[in-house]
Structure 1
Amino acid sequence: MRPVTLQTSRLVLDLPVSGDAERVARYCKDPLFERFLTTPWPYTDAHARGFLDEYVPSAWQSGAELTWALRAAPGGSLMGVISLRAKGREVGYWLGAEHRGSAYMAEALDAVCTWAFDGFPGTETITWRANAGNTASAMVARASGFCNTTTAETTVPARDGADLPGWSGERGRLPVADARVSWRPLLGEVTDEGGAA
C-alpha cells in the first residue's frame, strides 16, 4: 500500500521519515512511555532510526500497519505519531509532551478513522486499547466517538509479551448517540461541553 497524506484544519498527517529521528527519540524517552506504551525502554536513537527507516515503510508496503506523523504544516516538525494496524483495525498513538492539551490527537484520530472506512478495504469497525489507567488516551478515544467496551477480561500486551490489564473502545462509521456516556466507569461524568463534571 502506498502512504496516504491526510489533512485536518490544523494538521498534516504524512509519512514519518528519517529526518524525524531526533524528535521520535526525544519524545519516546518520556517516562509516561515506559508506563503506558510498548515502545522499547530505555528508548535509544537506534530505536528511532529502525522505526523510521525500516519498520514504517515496510509496514505501509505490506499494509500491516499504517503510520502517520502529525505536523502543523507540510514539512513541519513531527509532533506525534498515529497508526492503524490491519489486524483488528486497531489504532495506537502518542504525542510529544509539549503538544498535549490542544486536542491535536483527537483531531488526528478522527481523520484517520474517517479515511479508514473508505480508504482501507475491509474496515467496518475501528478498535482502541490502552493500559488500564491511561486516561489521556481514553479521553482522546472518547472525544473521537469511540464507545467504551472495556470488560474485566480486557488486556494489552506488555513489552515482555505478558498481558496487562487494559481498557478498550470501538468506533463504527456512524456515531453512536450515547458513546460519551459509555466512558463514565473509566472517566467519570461528562458535561454537555465535553469536559469532566
Structure 2
Amino acid sequence: MTPEASDTAGTRSFANVTLRTARLLLRPWGEADIDAITAVCQDAEIQRYVPIPAPYSRADAEVFVRRVLPKGRAAGTDVVFGAFDAERALPVASVGLHRIKDLDAPCGGVGEIGYWAAPDARGLGYTAEAVREVCRWGFDELGLARVEWLAIAGNEASWHVVEKLGFVREGTLRSHSIQRGVREDIWIGSLLRDEAKLG
C-alpha cells in the first residue's frame, strides 16, 4: 500500500494512492484505461444501476479520467480505483470512496463506497476483494468511523458484495435519487469501523 495522501488547507489529496491485495492492483484510472472503461460501461446492468451517461461514449470516459477523477482526488472528497487482475493487468472492477468528510473529527470521518464490476469478471470475488481493501484503507489510513453504501432498490448484486463484509442494511430512502429522469428508491446501509469483517 502506498497511501501518499497529503493534507492541504484542511483537505487531503489522494493523487498517488495505490493498494494491493493477493490478486489485485488498485490504482488510479489513467489515459491508457479510457478504451477499457468505455467498453465496460456499455453493460446494461452498469447503466441501469450506476449514475453514468447512457448511452456511454468514449468522450464520457475521457471526461471521467481527465476531469472528474483528478478533481475529486485533489479535493480530498473522492478517490476511485481501477481494480486490475495483478497477473493479467486486466480491469475487473472500479471501486471508490465518495463524499468523504469529517476527517478532522476526533470521532472519525464518513465516506460512501461505490463500485461496478466488469461483466466478464463477475462471480469471481474480485469486487468484494477490492471493496474490502478500499474499506480497510478508509478505516486504517483515513480514520473513517463509518462507510456508507447506497444503491438503487432492487440491486441485489450490489448488496451481496457488501453484505459479505458486514454491512448492515438500514432501510430505504424513498424517491431519493434521480436515475435516467426517474426518481428511484435507494437502499442505504453502513459498516462501522468496529464491526468490519475485513481480515
Measured against the shorter chain, the TM-score band is 0.7 to 0.9
- The structure where helix makes up a greater share of residues is 1
Q: Which among 31, 45, 54 is matched to residue 44 of structure 2?
A: 31
Shift in Å at residue 168 of structure 1? 1.4
Calculate the TM-score normalised by the size of structure 1. 0.81
Which residue in 2 is equivalent to 1:188?
none
Which residue in 2 is equivalent to 1:79?
92
Identity, in percent, stands at: 30
- Runs of 4+ aligned structure 1 residues displaced above 4 Å come to none
Q: Which among 134, 142, 157 is matched to residue 163 of structure 2?
A: 142
Which secondary structure does the structure 2 equivalent of 1:19 belong to?
helix
Calculate the TM-score normalised by the size of structure 2. 0.81
Give unmatched runs, 5+ long, in structure 2. 1-12, 102-109
- Whichever residue aligns with residue 105 of structure 1, its letter is T
- The reply on whether 1:107 has 2:129 as its aligned counterpart is yes
Kindly report which structure 2 residues correspond to 1:50-61, keeping only aligned pairs within 5 A, or say none. Answer: 50-61=63-74
- Whichever residue aligns with residue 137 of structure 1, its letter is S
C-alpha contact (below 8 Å) 1:27/1:96 kept by paired residues:
yes
Which residue in 2 is equivalent to 1:166?
186
C-alpha contact (below 8 Å) 1:92/1:128 kept by paired residues:
yes
Which residue in 1 is equivalent to 2:5?
none
Kindly report which structure 2 residues correspond to 1:1-16, keeping only aligned pairs within 5 A, or say none. Answer: 1=13, 2-16=15-29
- C-alpha change, 1:3 and 1:23, in structure 2 (3 Å) is same
For 1:49 and 1:104, locate their aligned partners in 2 and report how far apart those are by CA, in whole Å. 25
Q: Deviations over 1:2-55 (max 9, x none)?
A: 331111111111111011111100111111122211111100000011111221
- C-alpha change, 1:157 and 1:75, in structure 2 (3 Å) is farther
For 2:84 and 2:135, locate their aligned partners in 1 and report how far apart those are by CA, in whole Å. 18
Give unmatched runs, 5+ long, in structure 1. 178-197
- The structure where strand makes up a greater share of residues is 2
How many equivalent pairs are there? 175
Shift in Å at residue 153 of structure 1? 3.5
